[in-house]
Structure 1
Amino acid sequence: MLSFEQKQAIIESFPELTKKQISLKRLNYHFEDSQYDKTIVVQQLHPNGNGFIFVGEGGPYEADERGLINIFDATEDDIKEMIRYSIALLSTKEEDASEEAGEQVWRNREGGELKLVNEDDLWNIYHGLNLEDSFESQEAAILYLKEEGFRRN
């Protein structure tokens, strides 16, 4: 298990996060450039090593009802991956997430094209006529597309 100091060093390696001390010597780390009211990425990091990372709902993580994952037993790689995911999720622009119907075309630098389509309460990604992947939220689908190097057309 990583110590409080080790977790703190990992978290503070992300220059886009701002540390704020709260009660009982706990720390929160905010992403001030969030496109949402939610800015806390790391919540209640405690000297005993306990704390939470915001990962939202409908993505690749099993979060609680608040969209948080406990990091008490997390590895360095787990913490880095979750923080990157959280920052990307909070960076998703409102205009990217505002289109509730229809289809969106996404392209990568190599000229590849994927379509994001809202169908039956799922956000489906298609390569041509083939289903590439499905997500429960548009935010998770957009995050996947961005991580794969695609940008909205």
Structure 2
Amino acid sequence: MLTFEEKLAIVSSFSELERKNVSLGRVNFHFEGSVKEKKVVVYHLHPNGNGFVYGEYLNGYEMNDKGMVNIRDFSADALRTIIEQSILSLSEKEVEVSDKPAFEEEWINEEGHTLMLVEEDDLWNVYAGLNLDGTFNSYREAAQYLDEEGFSIK
């Protein structure tokens, strides 16, 4: 588990987020550029390492009734990924076109098998190694497929 300081450093690296100190040493981070009513991306990051990221518009995460995902046991990469996804879900940002995939995400099941979810040419492809496992029209469809197959974001 990452320490509070490690999580704080990762969250603070997102220039889009504004830090707001709250009670009991906890910290929230707001995304003022949100086009939705919700502005809090990181909620109650606590000195004990617990905290939440807003994930109502994301798939593949277990969340509470407020759409918050507990990040207590997240790795550094998983924390960066969910924060990026949360910000993207609250913004109108367009993904820049480049030669490399605009988005790559690794998913893993209980047996340790991994699949890669990659955005390519306005489609969402799932790869098992170099083999194409499936193609979907949206991230939500691809994530739903992976979730149904027993995979979750690594």
TM-score (norm 1): 0.62
- With over 3 angstroms needed to count, the CA separation of the structure-2 counterparts of 1:20 and 1:113, relative to structure 1, is closer
Counterpart in 2 of 1:16?
16
Q: C-alpha separation between the residues in 2 aligned to 1:88 and 1:58?
A: 10
> Structure 1 residues 33, 59: closer, same or farther in 2, change over 3 A?
same
Q: How does 1:136-147 map to 2 (within 5 A)?
A: 140=140
With over 3 angstroms needed to count, the CA separation of the structure-2 counterparts of 1:58 and 1:52, relative to structure 1, is: closer
Aligned residue for 2:51?
Answer: 51
C-alpha separation between the residues in 1 aligned to 2:48 and 2:29? 17
SS state at 2:78 partner:
helix
Q: Percent identity?
A: 41
Output the amino acid matched with 1:69. Answer: V
Q: What secondary structure, in the 3-state scheme, does the structure 2 residue paired with 1:91 have?
A: coil
Shift of 1:132: 3.7
Q: Is there any run of 5+ residues in structure 2 with no aligned partner, and where? A: 100-119, 124-133, 142-154
Q: Could you say which residue in structure 1 is the equivalent of 2:38? A: 38
Larger radius of gyration: 1
Give the match for residue 73 of structure 2: 73
Q: CA deviation at 1:47?
A: 0.6
Of residues 59-68 and 4-13 in structure 1, the stretch that sits farther from structure 2 once superposed is: 59-68
Q: Is 1:133–2:132 an aligned residue pair?
A: no
Which consecutive segments of 4 or more residues in structure 1 shift more than 4 A? 112-115
Residue 134 of structure 1 deviates from its aligned partner by 6.5
- Is contact 2:42–2:53 with CA below 8 Å preserved after alignment? yes
| Length, aligned pairs only | 111
Q: CA-atom RMSD, angstroms?
A: 2.9
- Aligned residue in 1 for 2:85: 85
Deviations 1:84-128 (A, max 9, x none): 0000000038xxxxxxxxxxxxxx789x9769xxxxxxxxxxxxx
Structure 1 or 2: more helix by fraction:
1
Tell me the residue number matched to 1:128.
none
Kindly indicate whether residue 23 of structure 2 is the aligned counterpart of residue 28 of structure 1: no
Shift of 1:65: 1.7
What 5-or-longer segments of structure 1 have no aligned partner?
94-107, 116-130, 142-153
Aligned mates of 2:88, 2:76 — CA distance in 1: 18
Return the alpha-carbon distance in structure 1 between the equivalents of residues 91 and 61 of structure 2. Answer: 18
Kept in 2: contact 1:57–1:63 (CA 8 A): no
